[in-house]
Amino acid sequence: MTQDIHDLVIAGSGVAGLSAAVYAARADLDPLVLEGDEPGGQLTLRPDVENYLGFPEDVGGMELIQRGKEQAEQFGAEFQHGSIEDADLDGQPLELSLSTGDPIYTRSLIVATGASARWVGAENEDELMGAGLSTCATCDGAFHRGDDVLVVGGGDSAMEEALFLAKFADSVTVVHRREELRASEIMADRARDHEDVQFRWNTELEAIHGSQEEGVTGATLVSHPDGYPREKAESGIDVERETVDVGGVFYAVGHTPNTQFLDGTGVERDEDGYIFTQTDDAGRPTAQTAGVFAAGDVADPRYRQAITSAGTGSMAVLDAEEFLETLQDTGESTVTATA
């Protein structure tokens, strides 16, 4: 049978995807937005967003996402539950296989599926994420003025988080499971030299204490002189445990971009899975694979801010619109799909 071909499919319904949906719908591209398994993405875990332009009284992450969806729907964007499990991006139209079992055909695709922060598996982290437990110091550091906080990690991101938090917190303790950092020497030295940043070596976070109402009130740390104490505890080896009073915990153990469905396609990614973006001679982003564009955290291992994601969402639509115009000029937009 003949299958409808969309002009544009947007994979992801976080800030990048919703920004793209608004721009695309206003451009009469009739975008289809695939909401994914976790509609709204990581921002929905944030109870308060203070640094998004236009909300001087702050706004809840869930409310911000819902407003964005309503705005996109107002202009005609269509939303569908489901995520992409496989993709054939060779030629026209592009073919997407969804988790629902349905195929979708489209002339262009914006990948805005985000990046998931890695968690450490500490007790109570599910309950306290967004209530004193965070994966973004830039987003939530200002809520911890005067607190003692923990940063879990040992790479450059952990050092950056610790140094940023030191602007607000009374003390910052970096918890690392080894006695050597993975961070670059310059970042490690900056953190070590800061008077408000301490280190707990050969130590891991075992549990976080508190509640949604009170927030984080403390944490249980485990340590062993040879490092990797949780692994040793699970093997029956004696470890030391200590409960500390803290007002916040920040995970800085990396992110995993949600780009697994691009395996086997021509879309190039770095060793961590982030999509490489290319630029033309004028410095504008261009598609690596014809008709495929990236927006938000899938192509941004550095900034990971709602405001930057929104910007790249609009940019991706402008590029996709230009690409679709070239298809019309060559007559390729008349291709039909059968299923």
**Residues labelled catalytic:** 136, 139-140
Q: Which tokens go with 98?
A: 């969804």
308-to-165, 209, 261, 274 alpha-carbon distances in Å: 21, 33, 24, 16
> 33 near 72, Cβ under 8 Å?
yes
For residues 320 and 299, what is the distance between their CA atoms, to the nearest angstrom? 16
